[in-house]
Structure 1
Amino acid sequence: MEATAADAASSPHAAVARWKSDFSRVFQHYLDRSTPHPLGRWLGTLAVAAVYVLRVYFVQGFYIVSYGLGIYLLNLLIGFLSPMVDPEVEALDGPSLPMRGSDEFKPFIRRLPEFKFWYAITKAFLVAFVMTFFSIFDVPVFWPILVFYWIVLLS
């Protein structure tokens, strides 16, 4: 039997690929629409974070997930607050003036832009929230040690 183009298009694999493509397009559309609304985006992320914190509080577990989330958020914050070009490395090369109009000096460009920072934080909280529904991630630890170690890393 020969498979026709219509049979190939109606296969389960093609249906899943089509659904994934449609979902990706719709998701990107809403991401693009949310770009000019930073306050709304951050309030939504704050709501997601509050739901996660309440879940961990009521379950009384998943401290290692929260610790990993805290380390990841700290890493994102460092990237957000760091400049794209390290001034110390640039100082070793010596100051240079722009040679063309396109080489205009910009005093501070973040290594991690605000939108990507927000998106990564929101995804991190959502992944951590989903992890709280699986007991394999509820590793028993003495949580004050994790809090102390995180404070040491922060400082």
Structure 2
Amino acid sequence: MDKLQEGAEIQLSKIKITYRKYLDMITPHSAYRWIGSFSLIFLFMLRIVLTEGWYIVCYTWAIYLLNMFLQFLTPKFDPSLEQEFENESIEQGTSKMTEEDDEFKPFIRRLPEFRFWLKTTNATLIALVCSIIPFCDIPVFWPILLVYFIILFALTMRRQIQHMLKYKYLPFDLGKTKYAGNSK
């Protein structure tokens, strides 16, 4: 029995190493990764539309992706929490920061792009598998789910954009100053 268990552990270890190897190989190719993910998303959406079912699976998948997208847009160190900490330390008299301290803090995402891609792809694959299982096809009135998701998306994005404007951070490189290096 022990030899069988050891053999299974060795095979599992080999599978993990191979999986990690392929992930490492595709890491620098972000455009191709996202094209593959959007192809999977297109297949999943096509399946939902053509079969006219599995709306709960689609809704759950969409809520999960919205959550991942919010984590992707949010900084790792939340400025609102840092501001509360600074206010508490000022009240206690322990703050050493002055108003002239305007230190550069780079934008670090709570969820890095690669992990966002990986979780999106995994969630889409799981949703595709669930859309094959008849047990997961729970009958619902899909327009209500769609309207609820649109409202949830709009309110959540509005709150996130207000947070970005209040604390003056931009999670994308669009509109940021780019400096040219010495071209000698």
TM-score by length of 1: 0.84
Distance 1:108 1:18, change over 3 A: same
State the Cα deviation string for residues 81-113 of structure 1 (Å, max 9, x = none). 00111112212333849xxxxxx8533111000
**Counterpart Cα distance in 2 of 1:29 and 1:46:** 23
The 5 A counterparts of 1:1-155 are 8-9=2-3, 11=4, 13-94=5-86, 96=97, 105-155=104-154
Q: 1:96 to 1:24 in 2, by over 3 A?
A: farther
Most deviating of 107-116 and 121-130:
107-116
> Amino acid of the residue matched to residue 45 of structure 1?
S
- Name the counterpart of 1:101: none
Q: Which moved more, 1:54-63 or 1:30-39?
A: 54-63
Corresponding letter in the other structure for 1:126: L
Determine the C-alpha separation between the residues in 2 that align with 1:16 and 1:144: 47
**Letter of the aligned partner of 1:114 in structure 2?**
E
Please tell me the residue identity of whatever aligns with 1:138: D
Compared with structure 1, are the counterparts of its residues 39 and 96 closer, same or farther at alpha carbon in structure 2 (3 Å cutoff)?
farther
Question: By how many angstroms is 1:35 displaced?
Answer: 0.8
Distance 2:54 2:15 in 1: 31
Unaligned segments of structure 2, at least 5 residues? 87-95, 155-184
Residue by residue over 1:22-65, the C-alpha shift from the partner in whole angstroms, topping out at 9 and shown as x without a partner, is: 11110100001111110011011011111111221221100000
- Runs of 4+ in structure 1 displaced over 4 angstroms? none
TM-score for the superposition, normalised by structure 2: 0.71
Across the two proteins, how many residue pairs are aligned to each other? Answer: 141
Structure 2 counterpart of 1:68, one-letter code: T
Provide the C-alpha distance between the structure 1 equivalents of 2:104 and 2:14, rounded to a whole number of angstroms. 41
The percentage of aligned residue pairs carrying the same residue is 41
- Alignment RMSD (CA, Å): 1.9
